Amino acid sequence: QKVQVLPQTVLYIADAETFSGHEECHEQKKARKRNSKETAIALEKLLPKRCQVLGLVTPGVVVTPMGSSSNQPQEIEEGEAGFALLFPKIDGVKIHTFHFSKDSKNRVFDESKFAEAGLKNNPDLRVVLLFGYNSWKSGATRFLHQIVNPLNEKSIILAGGQVESFTSLTSENNNAQPGDACGVVGLAFSGPQIQSATVLLDQDVADERTAEAAMQRLKAANIPEHNTIGFMFACVGRGYRHYKTKRNMEADAFRKFFPNVPLFGFFGHGEIGCDRIVTGNFVLRECNDIKDDLLHGYTTVMTLIHLGSTK
């Protein structure tokens, strides 16, 4: 008997080459370049209509093939690659998508939108994954600060990075982003059983020893490893260039300390995160009034999200 579990939320990430690749056009008997919206629509047709979908395009991809612990996580910096994470209904866990775009008329972001998105006055909020797009636009960095700073609470894990674009956000009437706009999309994870931790690998982490030391810090958080996902958000300037032609260094270091946790993520144009270790009762071990610096370049953010015990 087959048991089917329908996804309620889907996060998919692919590199730009995958989304703007060529397909055969039968009428003209030649290949034509497809656009990202066509690819996104084709993907979404495979999913349930009520499913929340967030799709991102990035310069490179980090993926564990089939999400299986028997497969090594891979840093794919060149060539076509992508993955999709399909989250079913999970007891005690709520996952929702959100989108904030920069309003050219107002310089100040309306923080009441946080409450509408479940990012404020939500005692069960545990993890927020943030992805900025069109970061090269004027005012994009300032806008990102307006989103990140109010969310910079010690009891919430924040992680993510700058992507090239987003292709899907089915919680909105219009999935396509305005071509001249910049903004932030993301996923919020709420639920008392969720545990999480994140560490930042800065520019000084440049060899196997220092990469593994960062993973040891993450391991020391004692996050349960069953029903847990790892995320890696790295700068395009890291990878094999940063590690002097040695490939897959950070993914291999993660695998060494977390052999049973699948790792997913991307190479992007800036990173969001810090060292933030949260204990089982979701209170930080080291808590002070100083806000963490969450926006970085030439770094890697490694994050664990534990979705609770499985029955």
- For position 95, what pLDDT does the model report? 96
For the stretch 143-183, pLDDT in tens is: 999 999 988 887 899 999 999 988 887 644 444 455 568 89
Local confidence band at 277 (pLDDT 50, 70, 90 cut-offs): low
54 lies in some domain: no
Confidence label for 135 from pLDDT (cuts 50, 70 and 90): confident
pLDDT band at 93 (very low <50, low <70, confident <90, very high): very high
Q: Is 232 helix (H, G, I), strand (E, B) or coil?
A: strand
According to the model, what pLDDT value does residue 291 have?
67
pLDDT band at 2 (very low <50, low <70, confident <90, very high): low
Rounded mean pLDDT of 259-280? Answer: 86
254-280: b or e for each residue (b if 16 or more CB lie within 10 Å)?
Answer: bbebbeebbbbbbbbbbbbbbbbbbee
Do the domain assignments include residue 41?
A: no
pLDDT for residue 63 is more than 70: yes
Which one, of 224, 235, 223, lies nearest residue 272 by Cα? 235
Number of compact structural domains in the chain: 1
pLDDT tens digits, residue range 244-256? 878 999 999 999 9
Instruction: Give the integer Cα–Cα distance in Å for 221 and 304.
Output: 10
Give the pLDDT band (50/70/90) at residue 21: low
Burial 161-194 (b: 16+ CB within 10 A, else e): bbbbbbbbbbbeeebebeeeebbbbbbbbbbebb
Q: What is the CATH number of the domain that holds 213?
A: 3.30.1330
Domain assignment of residue 233, given as a range: 193-304
According to the model, what pLDDT value does residue 240 have? 86
Residue 97 within any structural domain of the chain:
no
Q: What is the pLDDT of residue 108?
A: 78
Q: What integer is the mean pLDDT of 220-233?
A: 94
For 143, the token pair is 């806008």
More reliable by pLDDT, 310 or 149:
149
Report the mean per-residue pLDDT for the chain: 85
Please indicate, yes or no, if residue 248 is contained in any of the structural domains. yes
pLDDT given at position 303: 97
Q: Is the pLDDT of residue 75 over 70?
A: yes
pLDDT surpasses 80 at 36:
no
Q: Supply 112's token pair.
A: 């009441």
How far is Cα 59 from Cα 15, in angstroms, rounded to an integer?
Answer: 5
Q: Is residue 38 part of a domain?
A: no
Domain annotation covers residue 222 = yes
Kindly tell me if the per-residue pLDDT of 204 is higher than 80. yes
- Say whether pLDDT at 72 is over 80: yes
- Residue 45: the pLDDT is 83
227 located within any domain: yes
Question: What would the mean pLDDT of 277-306 be, rounded to a whole number?
Answer: 71
Is residue 239, in this structure, part of any structural domain at all? yes
pLDDT for position 173: 40
